[in-house]
């Protein structure tokens, strides 16, 4: 109890007073280096030290304490403490300093100053009000450059080099004149030159003489505003002199700048604060507003390449300091072109030197203790790459869907307008993050507020990103309607540069390229509250949406007119569940779970193919689904879904020989769990058809997913399919029944439930707000329960509920589906075994990828043996299924083909079908049949291993695998990509040789980080821990690993350049050689050094002396 070393004497809190002793001063100083940046197992950000800013994200798992002696103690979740050694603290300190040095470039000076002035408090939106000059500099030539480099394998590297070469001198000049780059708008810059009274601040401490603010002795002070405009003008003139017609050395492309300058009152806003799904850190944006924006929006287009245009307000301040360019007349009155400085009064060196001498911005610069504040403004994957020292890895050419949104109707520079901007930003963030997209930019221009959203940036990569982008626009349009703003939307899809733009002193993560520019053009041509998309996006949309073609339009930068479309959300099908003619219409007919099906098949084709899939799977006697059908129904599968079962007479459930304890006897709940594609859908379709034809059970169906914006759809489908059963029974008895579902519900519901009819009507019409969807879901389920209680007096009921998570990746997104399990619990209570009375059985079948083990219904089903897990097919069953799908005898299929399909598909039935479809489509296998359809011959390529599986991007197996790899943390992704290089087993030193080699100064902590990444991949079964080639278990230090998953190897290997593969192999071979030979050689050297050294000229003397 009294051991002071086992528990810390104090915990460091941000509210503590300054330490009094020298040891505490040192401790507090060292502690500040730890704030918010030591890694924890789930996030590269790490252990949260107790000191930091007020809004720092909380981590209850670990706490960092400091003792009066200045030592550190780390307290874990179980209150156990461990002292951190100096080597640990020094390692983290160095790593955090390196991280801070790069992170500072992502935040402008004015935001850092606002933080220290108390302007970044959570409740504040306006963080700065001041005056100064505003510059907008647009670059011409980057679009042409990006288009040329997009076709090259090393295009991202070349474009990154060009960006650095161009922006480094540009930003250095801006900083030298005390300018502040507020925003990168693609390849354009918004620069703020604040009006600062240098005379009032006094002489800087480091300066030996007092310089006038404008730098010229003997001339009167111009005043803060005029000095700011003069500095902006001088800076822009020097930029044009140095960088006009900048040669990129890429196919003759040159870069040019045209610049606009304005001045006046400037407002800086700090908006956002919503947490993205991939991190725990809130994401915020800063933006500039005020009259100067309107001025530069007019001045910049008036300037041609190589020119500078000043607004009338700016010209009034410097008209006596500069020379006007009168070579051409401008169309707008009062705007002037700038030629040069009046060098009789002011020169570049004096203005620049004075600005640098009076620059005190470093006094309010973020320190290590504010590292978590900086994270608000940096995308999470970019921050993690910075921490790993691999920032250049974020620069790449990739396929993305881009959204430009324009909002007008409010002046954001006012207090009221700032609140609207905050509400808009937060609302758009919620919609964007709910669909797992990225909000990349929020700026204000002369047209209003402008937002840039991107879908397809890692780790938020999905096979249906174009669909997600358009759905986001449709949902965001409702936000604009609620805020009474005018919105315009443009969506495009294509290959673009995604990476860092800027220099080491100021940069941002952005997207550049033709698709990005085209998205902005479509936004500009969109009608009020309208959405325009391009043809590339339209071709990749799922069946959730349909498009109406509009007349092609001409846009800037395109010679030919552009085809444009207006997207609409597909209305829900008229029928759901049981049709009047006895057919069962399942929800997945309307929304196939595979993107390749959605793009290539109609709804009728999907229905027919689904039935064929059922028949083929149930032709496999050893499939887990068939085994469970026999266990639950007491009969082997017979007939098919294409008509043979409908001829079987209906037998009452109580006379059918059902196994004891089967839920189909007296009612109950059955759960089917398994990954997408393992046969849950086929199992449910077969059992539903069997229950209808043999047991007289009528189906009720409902599904939730794959989108989060329509949670109430589950209740709507359950209610409509319940009403369909009433309609079917009425039709069978020749009783009139309302064709309209709403009227039918009014006709059937007891009086006490009529209060719910307004919600039912809104749900049927699709007019519910997103925030009301969950509440409406439970209301609809309550109505369904009341109708089921009426219905079970007439017939047995078979209820199917499907939870489809779709392509969503992160748990934070999927948490919103938790209401599904509340609905399951409600219906499970209704489906309890019916004993006595006139109530017929109700069977509830729940399909999900992963069931909620904490649900009482799930736990009860497990205890009763009513929980079915459908794993991937075994090797033998997979080979048999491949032959069945090809519709050939198994002996006719070449064994190499069967083995290839088994290894690529991993035994997933959906993947088996996709693999065979792609092999046939690309002529890797060929099947010849005679006129009667009998097999004549089947052959395949000799070397199937060389097939580029990664090119099958629209298949579920490749798309899902690619999304999985993109969602990994940077270090885990690097480990996985390196592991695809090794054909056999590899060890931790093999991986470390390319990133943190022991021979290149790597520390124990570098190895720990690498080991943690490897272990995470092992836990997720992406790579496997194996034994050595001799069959003996490896020691802990030399544990071997292997990449056995062929699908991941193929897809992951395609993400690695050939040069990178060679480097990894070379470094691993060098490391192995050093590990094998170097210790022995070092020992030889050590022994030699112990021997006394005798110069040669003494050897003869000593030899004679020995005689």
Q: What is the pLDDT of residues 644-698, one digit of tens each?
A: 333 444 444 444 577 888 888 888 999 999 988 899 999 999 999 888 988 889 9
Whether 46 contacts 35, CB under 8 Å: no
pLDDT at 8: 35
Q: Based on the number of CB atoms within 10 Å of its own CB, is 636 exposed (0-12), middle (13-18) or buried (19 or more)?
A: exposed
Q: Which residues of 300-318 are buried (b: 16+ CB within 10 A; e: fewer)?
A: bebbebebbbbbebbbebb
Coil, helix or strand at residue 135: strand
* Gyration radius (Cα) of the chain, Å: 34
On the question of pLDDT at 41 being above 50, the answer is: no
Antiparallel, parallel or unpaired: β 545-553 and 531-534: unpaired
The pLDDT of 234-250, averaged and rounded, is 93
- pLDDT tens digits, one per residue of 515-555: 999 999 999 999 999 999 999 999 999 888 999 999 999 98
> Which residues are registered as beta bridge partners of 545?
569
pLDDT tier at 484, thresholds 50, 70, 90: very high
855-876 CB burial, b ≥16 within 10 A, e <16: bebbebbeeeebbbebebbeee
Residue 5 scores a pLDDT above 60 = no
Total residues belonging to the chain: 1107
Tokens of 534: 């391009």
Dist. CA 279–CA 256, nearest whole Å? 39
Predicted confidence (pLDDT) at residue 50 exceeds the cutoff of 60 = no
Find the mean pLDDT for residues 97-126: 88
Predicted local distance difference test score (pLDDT) of residue 596: 56
Residue 33: which of 92, 108, 115, 101 has the closest Cα?
A: 92
| Residue-level pLDDT at 470 | 96
Average pLDDT, stretch 915-928?
89
Per residue in 757-816, pLDDT (tens digit) is 999 999 998 888 878 889 999 999 999 999 999 999 899 999 999 998 888 888 888 888
**H helical segments located in 379-414:** 380-387
What are the tokens at 897? 């083909």
pLDDT at 1097 over 70: no
pLDDT over 60 (residue 642): no
Confidence at residue 748, expressed as pLDDT on a 0 to 100 scale: 92
Q: CB-based burial of residue 1106 (10 Å sphere; 0-12 exposed, 13-18 middle, 19+ buried)?
A: exposed
The pTM score is: 0.86
Q: Cα–Cα distance between 913 and 835 in angstroms, integer?
A: 44
Dihedral in degrees, nearest 10, Cα atoms 890, 894, 900, 905? -20
Check residue 679 and report its DSSP letter.
S
With 0-12 / 13-18 / 19 or more C-beta atoms within 10 angstroms meaning exposed / middle / buried, residue 1101 is: exposed
pLDDT reading at 1025 higher than 60: yes
The pLDDT value recorded for residue 26 is 37
Is the backbone of residue 138 left (phi > 0), alpha (psi -120 to 50) or beta?
beta
Residues with Cβ within 8 Å of residue 820, at least 6 apart in sequence = 704, 714, 801, 803, 848
User: In the chain, helix, strand, coil percent, each to 5?
Assistant: 45, 20, 35
Please tell me the least confidently modeled range out of 330-334, 404-408, 950-954: 950-954
Residue position matching structure tokens 């491949």: 882
Return the structure tokens found at 823: 């609905």
Beta strands in 888-1023, from DSSP E residues, in sequence order: 925-929, 935-940, 986-987
pLDDT at 1017: 93
Show the tokens assigned to 783.
């109505």
DSSP assignment of 977-1015: HHHTT-SS-EEHHHHHHHHS-GGGT--HHHHHHHHHHHH
Quickly state the pLDDT bin for 51 (edges 50, 70, 90): very low
Classify 906 as helix, strand or coil. Answer: coil
Interatomic CA distance for residues 267 and 125, integer angstroms: 10
> 262 with 293: CB under 8 angstroms?
yes
Residue-averaged pLDDT of the chain: 84
The reported pLDDT for the residue numbered 25 is 37
CA distance 547 to 29: 60
pLDDT surpasses 80 at 837:
no
**Which among 733, 832, 737 has a CA at the least distance from the CA of 789?**
832
242 vs 19, more confident: 242
State pLDDT tens for residues 380-414: 999 999 988 888 888 888 899 999 999 988 888 88
Q: Parallel, antiparallel, or unpaired for β 545-553 and 507-512?
A: unpaired
Query: Can you read off the two tokens belonging to residue 423?
Result: 């509400």
- The beta-carbon contacts of 775-780 under 8 Å, at least 24 apart in sequence, are 776/712, 776/715, 777/711, 777/712, 777/714, 777/715, 777/819, 777/823, 778/715, 778/819, 778/822, 778/823, 778/826, 779/715, 780/712, 780/715, 780/716, 780/718, 780/719, 780/756
Lowest mean pLDDT among 75-89, 456-470, 867-881, 989-1003: 75-89
Between CA 1025 and CA 1017 the distance in angstroms is: 10
Angstrom distance (rounded) from CA 545 to CA 804: 18
The arithmetic mean of pLDDT across residues 850-876, rounded, is 92
Model pLDDT, residue 598: 58
Q: What is the DSSP letter of 37?
A: T
pLDDT of 99 higher than 70 = yes
Instruction: Tell me the backbone φ, ψ of residue 853, rounded to 5 degrees.
Output: -70, -15
Percent of the chain with pLDDT over 70: 87
Establish how many alpha carbons lie within 13 A of residue 308's alpha carbon, considering only the half-sphere containing its beta carbon. Answer: 26
CA dist., res. 131 & res. 477, Å (int): 34
Q: Is residue 448 within 8 Å of residue 409, measured between CB atoms?
A: yes
Residues whose CB falls within 8 Å of the CB of residue 905, separated by 6 or more in sequence, listed in order: 878, 911, 912, 914, 915, 957, 1047
Average pLDDT over residues 297-315: 94
In three state form, how does the secondary structure of 488-528 look? EEEEEEEEEEEEEEECCCCEEEEEECHHHHHHHHHHHHCCC
């Amino acid at each position: 109890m009294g051991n002071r070393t086992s528990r810390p004497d104090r915990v460091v809190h941000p509210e503590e007073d300054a330490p009094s002793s020298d040891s505490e001063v040192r401790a507090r100083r060292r502690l500040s280096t730890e704030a918010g940046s030591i890694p924890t197992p789930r996030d590269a950000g790490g252990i949260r030290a107790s000191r930091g800013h007020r809004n720092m994200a909380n981590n209850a798992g670990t706490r960092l304490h400091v003792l009066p002696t200045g030592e550190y103690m780390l307290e874990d979740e179980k209150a156990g403490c461990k002292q951190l050694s100096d080597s640990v603290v020094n390692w983290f300190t160095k790593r955090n300093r390196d991280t801070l040095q790069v992170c500072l470039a992502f935040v402008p000076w004015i935001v850092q100053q606002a933080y220290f002035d108390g302007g970044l408090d959570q409740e504040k939106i306006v963080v700065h009000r001041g005056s100064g000059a505003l510059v907008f500099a647009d670059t011409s030539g980057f679009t042409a450059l990006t288009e040329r480099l997009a076709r090259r394998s090393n295009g991202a590297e070349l474009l990154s080099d060009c960006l650095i070469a161009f922006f480094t001198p540009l930003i250095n000049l801006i900083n030298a004149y005390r300018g502040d780059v507020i925003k990168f708008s693609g390849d354009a810059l918004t620069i703020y030159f604040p009006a600062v009274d240098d005379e009032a601040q006094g002489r800087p401490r480091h300066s030996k003489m007092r310089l006038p603010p404008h730098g010229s002795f003997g001339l009167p002070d111009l005043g803060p505003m005029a000095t700011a405009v003069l500095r902006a003008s001088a800076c822009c003139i020097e930029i044009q002199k140095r960088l006009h017609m900048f040669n990129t050395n890429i196919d003759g492309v040159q870069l040019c700048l045209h610049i606009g300058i304005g001045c006046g009152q400037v407002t800086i806003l700090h908006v956002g604060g919503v947490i993205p799904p991939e991190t725990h850190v809130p994401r915020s944006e800063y933006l500039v507003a005020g009259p100067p924006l309107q001025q530069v929006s007019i001045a910049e287009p008036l300037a041609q390449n190589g020119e500078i245009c000043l607004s009338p307000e700016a010209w009034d301040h410097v008209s006596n300091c500069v020379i006007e360019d009168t070579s051409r007349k401008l169309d707008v009155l009062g705007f002037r072109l700038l030629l040069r400085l009046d060098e009789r009064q002011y020169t570049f060196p004096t203005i620049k030197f004075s600005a640098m001498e009076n620059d005190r911005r470093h006094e309010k610069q973020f320190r290590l203790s504010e590292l978590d504040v900086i994270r608000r403004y940096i995308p999470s994957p970019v921050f993690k790459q910075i921490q790993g020292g691999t920032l250049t890895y974020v620069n790449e050419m990739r396929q993305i869907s881009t959204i430009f949104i324009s909002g007008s109707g409010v002046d954001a520079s006012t207090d009221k307008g700032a609140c609207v901007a905050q509400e808009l930003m937060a609302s758009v963030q919620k919609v964007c993050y709910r669909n797992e997209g990225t909000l990349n930019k929020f700026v204000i221009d002369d047209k209003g507020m402008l937002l840039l959203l991107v879908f397809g940036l890692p780790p938020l990569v999905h096979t249906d990103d174009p669909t997600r982008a358009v759905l986001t626009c449709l949902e965001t349009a409702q936000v604009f309607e609620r805020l009474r703003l005018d919105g315009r939307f443009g969506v495009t899809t294509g290959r673009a540069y995604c990476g860092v733009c800027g220099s080491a002193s100021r940069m941002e993560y952005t997207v550049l390229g033709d698709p990005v520019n085209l998205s902005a053009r479509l936004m500009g041509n969109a009608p009020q509250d309208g959405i325009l998309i391009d043809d590339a996006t339209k071709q990749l949309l799922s069946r959730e949406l349909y498009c109406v073609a509009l007349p092609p339009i001409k846009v800037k930068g395109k010679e030919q007119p552009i085809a444009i479309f207006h997207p609409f959300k597909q209305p829900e099908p008229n029928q759901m569940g049981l049709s009047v003619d006895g057919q069962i219409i399942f929800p997945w007919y309307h929304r196939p779970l595979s993107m390749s099906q959605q793009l290539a098949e109609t709804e009728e084709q999907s229905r027919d193919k689904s039935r064929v899939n059922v028949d083929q799977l149930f032709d496999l006697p050893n499939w887990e689904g068939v085994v469970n059908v026999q266990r639950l129904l007491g009969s082997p599968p017979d007939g098919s879904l294409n008509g043979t079962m409908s001829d079987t007479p209906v037998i009452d459930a109580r006379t059918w020989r059902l196994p004891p304890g089967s839920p189909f006897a007296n009612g109950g709940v059955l759960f089917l769990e398994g990954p997408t594609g393992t046969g849950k859908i086929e199992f449910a379709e077969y059992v539903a058809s069997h229950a209808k034809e043999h047991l007289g059970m009528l189906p009720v169906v409902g599904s939730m997913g794959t989108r989060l914006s329509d949670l109430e759809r589950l209740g709507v489908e359950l209610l409509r399919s319940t009403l369909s059963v009433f309609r079917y029974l009425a039709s069978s008895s020749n009783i009139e029944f309302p064709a309209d579902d709403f009227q039918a519900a009014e006709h059937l519901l007891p009086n006490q439930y009529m209060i719910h009819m307004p919600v039912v009507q809104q749900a049927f019409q699709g007019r519910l707000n997103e925030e009301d969807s969950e509440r409406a879901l439970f209301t609809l389920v309550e109505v369904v329960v009341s109708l089921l209680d009426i219905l079970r007096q007439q017939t047995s009921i078979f209820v199917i509920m499907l939870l489809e998570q779709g392509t969503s990746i992160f748990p934070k997104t999927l948490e919103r589906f938790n209401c599904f399990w509340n609905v399951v619990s409600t219906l499970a209570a209704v489906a309890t075994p019916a004993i006595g009375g006139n109530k017929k059985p109700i069977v509830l079948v729940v399909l999900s990828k992963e069931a909620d083990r904490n649900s009482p219904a799930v736990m009860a089903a497990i205890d009763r043996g009513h929980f079915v897990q459908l794993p991937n097919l075994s090797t033998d069953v997979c080979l048999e299924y491949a032959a069945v799908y090809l519709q050939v005898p198994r002996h006719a299929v070449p064994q190499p083909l069967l083995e290839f399909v088994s290894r690529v598909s991993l035994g997933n039935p959906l993947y088996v079908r996709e693999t065979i479809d792609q092999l046939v489509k690309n002529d890797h296998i060929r099947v010849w049949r005679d006129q009667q359809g009998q097999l004549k011959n089947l052959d395949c390529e000799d070397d199937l291993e060389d097939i580029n599986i990664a090119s099958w991007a629209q298949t579920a197996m490749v798309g899902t695998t690619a999304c999985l790899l993109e969602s990994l943390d940077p270090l885990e992704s690097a480990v996985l990509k390196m592991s695809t290089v090794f054909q056999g087993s590899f060890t931790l030193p093999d991986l470390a040789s390319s990133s943190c080699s022991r021979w290149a100064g790597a520390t124990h902590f570098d190895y720990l980080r690498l080991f943690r990444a490897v272990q995470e991949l092992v836990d997720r079964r992406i790579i496997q821990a194996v034994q050595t080639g001799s069959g003996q278990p490896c020691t802990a230090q030399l544990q071997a690993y292997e990449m056995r998953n062929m699908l991941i190897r193929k897809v992951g290997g395609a993400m690695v350049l050939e040069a990178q593969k060679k480097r990894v192999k070379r470094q691993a071979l060098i490391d192995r050689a050093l590990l094998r030979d170097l210790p022995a050689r070092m020992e030889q050297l050590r022994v030699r050094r112990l021997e006394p050294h005798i110069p040669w000229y003494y050897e003869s003397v000593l030899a004679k002396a020995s005689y």
